[in-house]
Amino acid sequence: MELELKVFIPTETFYKNHVTFTSVGVIQELIKPLKGIGLNYFTFDRTYNDGSHLRLTSSGEWIEHYYRQKLYDVAIFEKDPSKFKNGVVFWSWLKRAPVYSEAALYDIDHGLTITQSHKAYCDFYHFGTSCNTPILESTLSSKLNQLYKFIALFQQKTYPLICEAELTRFILPIKSNIEHEISELSILNNSDIFEHGEIKRFYLGDEFDNNYLTGKELEVLTYLYNGHRQISIANLLFISEKIVEKHIENIKNKLSCRTMFELGALTHSLGINNIRI
Q: Encode pLDDT of 75-128 as tens digits.
A: 888 888 888 888 899 998 888 889 999 999 999 999 999 999 999 999 999 999
What structural domains and CATH numbers belong to the chain?
Answer: 12-171 (3.30.450.80), 201-274 (1.10.10.10)
∠ CA(22), CA(28), CA(31), 5° rounding? 140
Q: Encode pLDDT of 140-181 as tens digits.
A: 888 898 999 999 999 999 999 999 999 999 998 887 554 444
Q: Over 164-224, what HEC string results? A: HHHHCCEECCCCCCCCCCCCCCCCCCCCCCCCCCCCCEEECCHHHCCCEEEHHHHHHHHHH
pLDDT exceeds cutoff 90 at 186: no
